[in-house]
Amino acid sequence: MKKSVILSAVFAAALPLLAHAESISFPSDAPIASVTIPDSWGPEETETGIQATSDDNAIYFSIDIADEKSTDKVISDAVDFLTKNGVTIDQKTQKDAGNSEINGMEFTALDWDGKDEDGPVSVGLGFLSPKRGKMLVITYWGTKGDEDKHDEEVAKIVHSLKPAS
């Protein structure tokens, strides 16, 4: 009996470790950056970067790579993606989140309130430069209320972003 109680306690303590996450370098053929996203978010490489969705679908998160010539198009494509998925952004709510530094890269972000078919959402675009001539464009789309429980995960994902070595 004691043995099964001890094994149960050890298993319960190990559960958080089972929420595995690996560092993913992208694009896989010529990495520009790496990020760590929990496996439960189903991270996958796209034509222009990487995307993932929280296991409860409360948050969509993507990181796209742009260069000096394609930055405007990548941003436009991100906004088009949101629009095609039923997200309406309230332009009057735009907030500049200011500048900070993440792993040696300057980070700046813009945030908006919006709506999708499920109700109120938060939308954000973030920008970092992992190396000269390259830009990472982060797209964030979260369901208000449900997204809050993922604050720590999102912060870890963003702070795991690093230039490729």
| Spatial separation of the C-alpha atoms in residues 159 and 36, rounded to whole Å | 9
Mean of all residue pLDDT scores within the chain: 89
Q: What is the pLDDT of residues 81-101, one digit of tens each?
A: 999 999 999 999 999 988 999
Model pLDDT, residue 30: 92
Q: Is the pLDDT of residue 15 over 70?
A: no
Q: Who has greater pLDDT, 12 or 117?
A: 117
The residues spanned by each domain of the chain are: 20-163
| 19 neighbors 156 (Cβ within 8 angstroms) | no
**HEC string for the chain:** CHHHHHHHHHHHHHHHHHCCEEEEEECCCCCCEEEEEEHHHCCEECCCEEEEECCCCCEEEEEEEEECCCHHHHHHHHHHHHHHCCCEEEEEEEEEEEEEEECCEEEEEEEEEEEECCEEEEEEEEEECCCCCEEEEEEEEEECCCHHHHHHHHHHHHHHCEECC
Predicted model pTM: 0.85
Examine the pLDDT at 141 and tell me if it is beyond 70: yes
Instruction: Look at residue 19 in the predicted model and tell me its pLDDT.
Output: 53
Whether a cis peptide bond, with omega within 30° of 0, leads into 27 is yes
Q: What is the pLDDT of residue 92?
A: 98
Q: Tell me the pLDDT tens digit for each residue of 18-73.
A: 356 789 999 999 999 999 999 999 999 999 999 999 999 999 999 999 999 999 99
Architecture of the CATH domain 20-163: 3-Layer(aba) Sandwich (3.40)
